[in-house]
Amino acid sequence: MSRHFLLSLIAFLVLGHSLASAAPFVPKRDPQCVAVSPSGTIVATACSGMSDDTFPPRPHPNVRKCGVIAVWDVESGKRLWRAETYGDITKLAFSVDGSLLAASRLYESSDGIALDEVRLWDVTSGKATKILDRCHAFDFSPDGRALAVLSRTKCVVYALNDWTKETQVKPLGESLAVAFAGDANLLCGIVKSEGQYAIRLCDIAKGTVISESRRLDDPFYALAVSADGATIASGHDGGNVVLWNLPSLEVRTRMQTGIKGHVQPLLSPDGRYLAGGCQENGDVIIWDART
């Protein structure tokens, strides 16, 4: 099992307790999202939080109520920097070269205005480098050159070097989540179709649909792709994890964690191990994905 995969699982299970305790201005609460840098030397954590109820909203003035994104050195356990925010943090991820940290946030004001956001920081300085307003999900391309971002109606791929819009992937507009399928030109999204939900695989350059999975009645929000692009895992309510073959998107198998709530799927870089993390209690179940 790879060091990076083990670090991710350890962070999911216990890192929130030790790191929150190390910061006296932050209450002892578990982070909702954790990310490990490609080098395995840095960990980022995110705790969702409240706004100050003004417009435009800002992080809650009480540090015990605002959201916090923090970056930590693994060896020393010291916090390198922190950023205050608000809303529900749904994903943290480092870029392939480890230079950028991205986070997606969901937020709706009291009068129903959606102010979702994808934000990126320079990992070394902690300064925000890009803010993508009204966007709710993202994924870095495996070659480290692009970022796919979802807004309410569009799926757009940006070039990371100059933030030009490389292309709009129209078949993935209005998707709930997005993930590169082991190739910088292949992109998956969770789409709603005729009142049901499915995974759709698209060719970015051509803007065409390659395949689509069977439709499911209930929405789901999390995808994980193996590094070789042969497997995609989706997390569902009721403790279910489904493995799909790529590029056909045929069901390979369904795993049951035996825990409640939505499951966050995790795949080791070599595709050998599959893990399902429960969002309700932090439990993680690990399987041999090959068997």
List, for residues 233-287, the tens digit of each pLDDT value: 999 998 899 999 999 999 999 998 888 788 999 888 777 899 998 877 778 899 9
**pLDDT attached to residue 18:** 38
Is it the case that residue 12 has pLDDT exceeding 90? no
**pLDDT attached to residue 111:** 83
- Characterize 57-96 residue by residue with b for buried, 16 or more Cβ atoms within 10 angstroms of its Cβ, and e for exposed: bebbeeeeebbbbbbbebeeeeebbbbebbbbbbbbbbbe
pLDDT tier for residue 3 given thresholds of 50, 70 and 90 = low
Is it the case that residue 125 has pLDDT exceeding 80? yes
* Cβ-based neighbours of 84, under 8 Å, separated by 6 or more: 49, 59, 63, 66, 67, 68
Distance of alpha carbon 211 from alpha carbon 149, whole angstroms? 20
Distance of alpha carbon 216 from alpha carbon 237, whole angstroms? 12
pLDDT tier for residue 9 given thresholds of 50, 70 and 90 = low
**pLDDT attached to residue 23:** 38
In this structure, are residues 93 and 151 in contact, taking their beta carbons and an 8 Å threshold? Answer: no
Distance of alpha carbon 188 from alpha carbon 101, whole angstroms? 21
Distance of alpha carbon 239 from alpha carbon 259, whole angstroms? 5
**pLDDT attached to residue 27:** 47
Which is higher by pLDDT, 90 or 26? Answer: 90
Is it the case that residue 165 has pLDDT exceeding 50? yes
Which is higher by pLDDT, 227 or 171? Answer: 171
Per-residue pLDDT tens over the stretch 36-76: 999 999 999 999 999 988 888 999 998 888 999 999 999 99
In this structure, are residues 213 and 244 in contact, taking their beta carbons and an 8 Å threshold? Answer: yes
pLDDT tier for residue 6 given thresholds of 50, 70 and 90 = low
Per-residue pLDDT tens over the stretch 24-38: 334 466 778 889 999
Q: Which amino acid makes up residue 149?
A: V
The CA R_g of the chain, rounded to the nearest whole Å, is: 18
Q: Which two tokens stand for residue 134?
A: 């009204």
Phi, psi of 172 (to 5 degrees): -105, 10
Number of C-alpha atoms within 13 angstroms, CB side, residue 132?
28
Angle value at C-alpha 83, between 50 and 154, nearest 5 degrees: 75
Q: Which amino acid makes up residue 150?
A: L
286, β-bridge pairs: 275
- pTM of the predicted model as reported, rounded to 2 decimal places: 0.88
Q: Which two tokens stand for residue 6?
A: 């083990």
| Cis preceding-peptide flag for 247 (omega within 30 of 0) | yes
Q: Which two tokens stand for residue 173?
A: 């507009």
